[in-house]
Structure 1
Amino acid sequence: MSNATRYALKQVEVHTNVVHERIEITISDDGPGIPDELLPFLFHRFVKGKDGESGLGLAISRAIVERCGGTIVAGNRHEGGAVISLSFPAAAGR
């Protein structure tokens, strides 16, 4: 969320959904997007974009998400801007 608000021009969107017993969360913005050459390394430690800070935030996010049994991926929207998608297993019995 902090990256989306940092890079957004005017809009940040958050969408949630349950698909095939998984909770999906997408966060997107209307900013400049993520350089294509950075996408494969975005969740590695100390990798940061042009205006990035420490390069640790997304690596820490990935570690937390994966420890919860989830996945996290980044990409660019066709309309422009970045999108981060998270997916987690839904709790049993819900």
Structure 2
Amino acid sequence: MLQALLNIVSNATRYASKQIRIYVGINKEQIEITISDDGAGIPADVLPYLFHRFVKGTDGDTGLGLAISRAIVERCGGLISAGNGEREGAVVSLSFPAVIGTQ
């Protein structure tokens, strides 16, 4: 999970103008993590393919980071999605089943 989060936060630092926000919470037995930035956002033509291998943004490196993140999140039973904020910037959301009271 750490690798997935590092990949996502690394992308946010690459594309943010000044600010990155990380939100963590529990909602209806789901752990939710949202990473957003105040950059230009994700181009509409890239969004459907963002988590595919070798898909890169303008300043991207190999195009593997988000594909690896998706694989990690899905193997942990979670979901990952991306979009653009209402005003600006990219938003990447992760959700996982909360495991409560494992005794």
Q: What TM-score, normalized by structure 1, do the two folds share?
A: 0.96
What is residue 58 of structure 2 aligned with on the other side?
50
Aligned to 2:82: 74
Runs of 4+ aligned structure 1 residues displaced above 3 Å come to none
Gaps of 5+ in 1: none
Percent identity, aligned pairs only, is 68
Report the residue type matching 1:51 in the other structure. D
| Structure 1 position 91, deviation (Å) | 1.4
Q: Which runs of 5+ in 2 are unaligned?
A: 1-8
Name the residue aligned to 1:4.
Answer: 12
Which of 25, 28, 39 does residue 20 from structure 1 map onto?
28
Q: Which structure carries more helix by proportion?
A: 2
Paired amino acid for 2:91: V
Q: Can you list the C-alpha shifts for 1:16-50, whole angstroms capped at 9, x where unaligned?
A: 11011110000000001000110000000011111
Q: 1:61 aligns with which of 62, 69, 82?
A: 69
Give the whole-Å Cα distance in 1 for the aligned partners of 2:17 and 2:58. Answer: 16
TM-score normalised to the size of structure 2? 0.88
